[in-house]
Amino acid sequence: MNGRLLNDKSQIFAHADPHAVSEYVNEHVGSHCIRLARHAQPAASLNHRTFGSLDLCRISYGSSVRVTSSALETIYHLQILLKGHCLWRGRGQEHYFTPGELLLINPDDPVDLTYSDDCEKFILKLPANLLDKACSDNQWRRPSTGIRFTPRHELSRLEGFGNLLGLVCEEAESDHGLPVVQEQYSRIIANKLLALLDNNVSREPANGSCPSFERIVQYIEDNLRQDISLEQLAELARMSPRSLYALFERNAGTTPKSYIRQRKLQHIRDRLSDPAAAVRNVTEVALDYGFLHLGRFSESYKSAFGELPSDTLRRRG
C-alpha cells in the first residue's frame, strides 16, 4: 500500500531542511507552523502532486517536530500514518496514531500534531466546496454549520478506500493524465469519504420530503446562464421569499443567491477543465454565466476553488 502512495516521480524535497519543506507545505497543502527538536538534521522529504481538486502529499521531517495551526479554514485534511507514530491533540482529546490509522481534520479544527523521528504521512487535501457539491449532487442534507467528520478512523475498515487512493496516486503520476478524468476521481473521493467516514451529513434524499426544493434546483440547473431572481424562484415554489430562504437553509445550508453563484462557478470550472469543451478564453465563459465584473468573478472563483480561472484553463492540457 505505502509504495502506491506517490513515488519518486513526485519528489520535491529529499534530505532537505525541514523549514524549506514547511514553507512549501504552507503554500500548497495548508497553513501551519513547525517547532523542531533542538538538534534537528536536514532530513526532511516531500512528494507532492496536484490532482483535479485535490492535493496529494507524502511527507516526513526526519526528526521530531510539532505542527500547529489555528484552523485550516476552507479545506479538509485526510492524513494516513505510514511509518512511526504521531501524537494528536484536539478539543480535549489526544491519541497516538500508528501506521494504518487515519486522521480527518475538519476546516475549523485546531491542529496540534507531534511527529516521531521516523514519522511519515500521506496527506490528502480536499477543498470544502468539493464535499458541499457532493452533498448537492446526491441531494443529501448538508448541515448549515458545515460538514464535520469524526477525527479517528482505521483505513482497513474503509472498504476499498486504500485501493482507490492507490489508483488516484498512479493516475496523478501518469504522463498522460486528463483534467476531466482527474475531476471525476476527485468527485469519487468526496463521495467515498461521505459514505464511509462518520459525519454529520444526512444521506436521506432531500427530495424525499421536499419536492419543492427538487423542482427549484432543477430550474436553476436548466437556467444557469440566465439572470435568476429570487422572485422567480419564490413564484415557482409558490411561497414567500422568506419561506424560500428557509427552504434553502434547511436543504442546502446557504441562501438562494449563494447557491446559484456556487452552481454557476462550478459549471464554469467544469467547462474550463474539460479539454472537449469549446472555450476560447475565461472572459467568454464568465460572461456566458452572467459575471459582468471580471475582477469580482476571479476573486469569487479563487475563493471557491483555490486558484484563478486562468490557472484552471491552463491546466486542462
pTM (global) more than 0.75: no
Helix, strand or coil for residue 265? helix
Question: In order of start, what are the domains of the chain with their CATH numbers?
Answer: 2-196 (2.60.120.10), 208-315 (1.10.10.60)
Provide the residue count of the chain.
Answer: 317
What local confidence, expressed as pLDDT, does residue 260 receive? 94
Residues 282 and 289: their CA atoms lie apart, in Å, by 11
- Which of 107, 111, 151, 114 has the alpha carbon at shortest distance from 129? 107
What local confidence, expressed as pLDDT, does residue 317 receive? 61
Q: Which amino acid is at 176?
A: H
**Cell representation of residue 241:** 421569499
List per-residue pLDDT tens for the chain, 317 residues long: 566 799 999 999 999 999 999 999 999 999 999 999 777 688 999 999 999 999 999 999 999 999 999 999 899 999 999 999 999 998 788 999 999 999 999 999 999 999 999 999 999 999 999 999 888 877 787 887 889 999 999 999 998 999 999 999 999 999 888 888 999 999 999 999 999 999 998 775 544 446 578 889 999 999 999 999 999 898 888 888 888 888 888 888 889 999 999 999 999 988 888 887 888 888 999 999 999 998 999 999 988 888 899 888 887 76
φ, ψ at 172 (rounded to 5°): -65, -30
- Which of 60, 71, 81, 65 has the alpha carbon at shortest distance from 31? 71
